[in-house]
Amino acid sequence: MEFRRSGDLDEALASLAELGDKAQVLAGGTDVMIQLERGEISPETLVHIERIEGMRSIAENGRLTLGALVTHIDLAQSPVLCDRYQSVARAASLVGGWQTQAVGTIGGNVCNASPAADLLPPLLVHGANVLLASKDRGEREVPLADFVVGRRTIAREPDELVTGFSLDNSDSRTADIYKKVGRRGAMEVAIVGLAIRLSVDSTGTINDARIAVCSVAPVPFRAQAAEQALLGTKANSEETRTAAALILEQAEPIDDVRATARYRKMVLPRIFENAVDQCYSRVASDLS
Amino acid sequence: MNSVSASVLVNGRSVTIDGHGATTLLEFLRNSLGLTGTKEGCSEGECGACTVLIDGQPITSCLYPVLAAEGRHVETIEGVSEGSDLSPLQETLITAGGIQCGFCTPGFVMTLTALLRKQPNPTGEEVANALAGNLCRCTGYSQIVEAAISLSGVERKS
């Protein structure tokens, strides 16, 4: 197996244009190396992109742009994210231990497209677009919800590289939160993961509600019906319970080694109600 | 693009990498360099037994392609002690009872060495967070955490 270093973006795109399906993109390696060891993938060439300059930045310019090579530690410790994008920082801090967070990248977590990917719910509630580049067709942006199309399946063409993510702007009338249920605090694949982003008007009425969950279906998803149920409310307990029931209608949890479907259905509404309470109190307390 | 030879700094010594494609740093350290202090546990990045430092950051060498280490500084357990003198952290782990079978110990030492350089006076919570990726099946962790806390400000920062 060939190991091909990419000194810059153009080199990486040239490699992918040349090799297509025969290439496997490699950044931190925390997922790819396991899949190689297990024989789940067998590329002819590993296209190493980790040292490409300029793809590891966190920049706010209207929207928030995260380079694909931003690591989980970068996200967890970023002063830009710690307030208005704290669901992203929190989710990143819960992926594996220090060793994984030091090298594992946001691009890798998204492209691996695990049903339990911690970063997907927070990125979904922040309206993330995936930024793609290819040698022959230039750049394009795809909404994240259209990019992760199935369990471990993404809409990346073989000659394309994910270069980053673009997130919706977030202001002082907006708050977000990520909650994860696992058997341990760290180093655990989510049994249920949930992100919420709420915005309110000057009276504290919710005018934008976004909810996304992972580990309860083959693909992490936005719970639109539940979002509608919170719109125009002040998130009192009855409305929140109604919304919780609507998320459950959309969920298709399975029994697996980590938990039963029944447990997932029991725990999901509880962490949701708890998360709405915390998120709404934060955004409402900023009104005064 | 695919250079013929690559070198890496291992415990301060420049060595030529002889791995290919998906050869892991762990395989290279143990099989090519004979540095068998770094242990292979789960081979899936869950247990932390194979932890080494790359440019000061702890990583699981079982998942790290050796060719990705080109030009970087790798520190292993063999580089922590000075000659036959154990580091203060190693001494303290012994006296605190933080070692039983010892298989996980090199990984713990590497992660804690990185932590103590960054944060010479860690709280128990900081130590526990730093060690989330290191598993020990013997000690129950508390002696390891206590050893790290008791070292506050003592560990060399080199």
Cα–Cα dist A50/A70, whole Å: 10
- The domains of chain B are located at 6-79, 88-150
For domain B88-150, say whether CATH 1.10.150.120 is its number: yes
Alpha-carbon distance A250 to nearest alpha carbon in chain B (angstroms): 32
Contact state of A29 with B65 under an 8 Å Cβ cutoff? yes
Taking the Cβ of residue B119 and every Cβ of chain A, the question of whether any pair is shorter than 8 Å is answered with: no
Alpha-carbon distance B90 to nearest alpha carbon in chain A (angstroms): 20
User: Which residues of chain A make contact with B43, given a CB cutoff of 8 A?
Assistant: 37
Which residue of chain B is at minimal alpha-carbon distance from A184? B132
- How many domains are there within chain A? 2
Taking the Cβ of residue A33 and every Cβ of chain B, the question of whether any pair is shorter than 8 Å is answered with: yes
Please count the residues of chain B.
Answer: 158
Query: What are A169-180's pLDDT values in tens digits?
Result: 998 899 999 999
What pLDDT sits at residue B154? 62
Q: Would A26 be classed as within a structural domain? A: yes
Contact state of A96 with B45 under an 8 Å Cβ cutoff? yes
CATH number at residue A192: 3.30.390.50
Query: What are A45-56's pLDDT values in tens digits?
Result: 999 999 999 999
User: Which residues of chain B make contact with A34, given a CB cutoff of 8 A?
Assistant: 44-45, 63
Q: Is pLDDT above 70 for A29?
A: yes
Mean pLDDT for B103-131 is 96
User: Which residues of chain B make contact with A99, given a CB cutoff of 8 A?
Assistant: 45, 48, 51, 58-60, 111, 133
Q: Which of residues 205-244 of A touch B (CB under 8 A)?
A: none
Which residue of chain B is at minimal alpha-carbon distance from A30? B63
- What does the H/E/C string look like for chain A? CEEEECCCHHHHHHHHHHHHHHEEEECCCCCHHHHHHCCCCCCCEEEECCCCCCCCCEEEECEEEEECCCEHHHHHHCCCCCCCCHHHHHHHHCCCCHHHHHHCEHHHHHHHCCCCCCCHHHHHHCCCEEEEEECCCEEEEEEHHHHEEECCEECCCCCEEEEEEEECCCCCCEEEEEEEECCCCCCCCCCEEEEEEEEECCCCCEEEEEEEEECCCCCCEECHHHHHHHCCCCCCHHHHHHHHHHHHHHCCCCCCCCCCHHHHHHHHHHHHHHHHHHHHHHHHHCCC
Q: Is pLDDT above 80 for B3?
A: no
Neighbours of B22 (CB within 10 A): 20
CA B69 vs CA A161, A179, B3: distances in Å: 22, 35, 14
- Domain of A270 in residue numbering reads as 184-285
Q: Would A62 be classed as within a structural domain? A: no
**Among A7, A15, A102, whose Cβ lies nearest the Cβ of B59?**
A102
- Evaluated on CA atoms B24, B26, B29, B31, the torsion sign reads negative
**Among B43, B51, B65, whose Cβ lies nearest the Cβ of A3?**
B65
User: Which residues of chain B make contact with A24, given a CB cutoff of 8 A?
Assistant: none
What pLDDT sits at residue B157? 43
Mutation target vs B (from A99, A180, A187; most B CBs, 10 A cutoff): A99
Cα–Cα dist B158/B141, whole Å: 26
Taking the Cβ of residue A273 and every Cβ of chain B, the question of whether any pair is shorter than 8 Å is answered with: no
What pLDDT sits at residue B68? 96
Return the percentage of chain B with pLDDT > 90, whole number. 84
Contact state of A36 with B64 under an 8 Å Cβ cutoff? no
Alpha-carbon distance B125 to nearest alpha carbon in chain A (angstroms): 12
Q: Is pLDDT above 80 for A279?
A: yes
Query: What are B44-102's pLDDT values in tens digits?
Result: 999 999 999 999 999 999 999 999 999 999 999 999 988 889 999 999 999 999 999 99
Taking the Cβ of residue B3 and every Cβ of chain A, the question of whether any pair is shorter than 8 Å is answered with: yes
Q: Is pLDDT above 60 for A40?
A: yes
What pLDDT sits at residue A124? 98
User: Options 3.30.2290.10, 3.10.20.30, 1.10.420.10, 3.30.9.10; which CATH number does B6-79 get?
Assistant: 3.10.20.30
Taking the Cβ of residue B59 and every Cβ of chain A, the question of whether any pair is shorter than 8 Å is answered with: yes
Q: Would A258 be classed as within a structural domain? A: yes
Q: What are phi and psi of B52, to 5 degrees?
A: -130, 170
**Among B22, B24, B48, whose Cβ lies nearest the Cβ of A99?**
B48
> B2 falls in which pLDDT band (50, 70, 90)?
very low
Taking the Cβ of residue B45 and every Cβ of chain A, the question of whether any pair is shorter than 8 Å is answered with: yes
Query: What are A84-96's pLDDT values in tens digits?
Result: 999 999 999 999 9
**Among B22, B70, B132, whose Cβ lies nearest the Cβ of A98?**
B132
Query: What are A183-228's pLDDT values in tens digits?
Result: 766 567 888 899 999 999 999 999 999 999 998 888 999 999 999 9
